[in-house]
Amino acid sequence: MKYKHARLSIQDTMDVVGGKWKLILIFVLFDGKKKFNELTREIGISPRVLSKELHELEVNGLIKRRVCDTKPVTVEYSLAPYSESLKDVIVALCKWGEAHRENIIAGKFDMSPKSKSIL
Amino acid sequence: MKYKHARLSIQDTMDVVGGKWKLILIFVLFDGKKKFNELTREIGISPRVLSKELHELEVNGLIKRRVCDTKPVTVEYSLAPYSESLKDVIVALCKWGEAHRENIIAGKFDMSPKSKSIL
DNA sequence: ACAACCTGTTACCTAAAGGATAGTAATAAC
DNA sequence: GTTATTACTATCCTTTAGGTAACAGGTTGT
């Protein structure tokens, strides 16, 4: 079992950025800092889940949380420098999803997979 | 919302290869074809789940299933050519997980994330 | 006083993912 | 006839992810 180490690396990555929202959040934050409510509205995530995801991303050093003393208080979430390291991952996933979608449209499958990005 | 399309691509990819096992299976199959029981033993997955994951991967054109007429019957699972397209994704995830692990070991985090690949 | 707005939290619930265990069907070996 | 091997299915169960809804705490505006 010589490649066990690589397998664990994949699993580690999935532990940190897996799930429905984490990569999406990071991707959206590449566009610039956002407030809590902007995020809920922009990606359609419930506040409960958003709060949890943001906290986990913060623990893993991927985003920064800054409380602004506006009235009422707002909180800015932005990418920590460490998120730069995820660019390759995000680009790879993004490219593949796009290519996959085109393959589906072109009818290159015997069976019938589904794609969210086909309207 | 100019980048919505890219977001959907990411979600599509996660739909196809997300979850606990799919990428691991593909990664392991890069090593060559394997039989059902070899896979259960090698990665420690229950037969029920393995069967489901393999079928889903097959539907998405990522692996091939070949029944050999040995006695007793054996079934060979191997990568379909389409899996080649996932190499970038796997490499990116693998690299990041490894780098992340090193960052944790080096103590570059305020809080304390965990890593499977640290013994 | 009252509503409106922001960032959350809390409690509750459902659905899906995944795991444990046993069993089936075919064949062959002992 | 019993046991073993292979590739599964079937059944049951636990855990986790994620969603809904309500509300708290603070502040500003009416």
Q: Which parts of chain A are beta strand (E)?
A: 34-35, 63-68, 74-79
Nucleotides on strand D lying under 7 Å from protein C-beta: 4-11, 17-22, 25-28
Enter the tokens of residue B88: 């970038």
Condensed to tens digits (0 to 9), the pLDDT of residues A40-58 reads 999 999 999 999 999 999 9
Exposure of B3 in the CB half-sphere (CA atoms within 13 A): 16
User: Is the Cβ pair A31, B85 closer than 8 Å?
Assistant: no
Condensed to tens digits (0 to 9), the pLDDT of residues B58-83 reads 999 999 999 999 989 999 999 999 99
Instruction: Write the CB contacts of B42 (distance below 8 Å, at least 6 apart in sequence).
Output: A1, B28, B34
Enter the tokens of residue A119: 């309207």
Q: How many angstroms is C1' of D21 away from CA of B25? A: 40
Interface of B with A in 63-92 (CB under 8 A): 82, 85-86, 88-92
CATH class held by domain B7-80: mainly alpha
Phi, psi of B74 (to 5 degrees): -120, 160
Q: Which helix (H) or strand (E) holds B99?
A: helix B87-105
Q: How many angstroms is C1' of D29 away from CA of A44? A: 29
Q: Report residue B2's pLDDT band, with 50, 70 and 90 as the boundaries.
A: low
Architecture of the domain defined by A11-105 = Orthogonal Bundle (1.10)
Rounded Cα distance between A97 and B15, Å, is 9
Which of chain A's residues have a Cβ under 8 Å away from the Cβ of B24?
7, 10-11
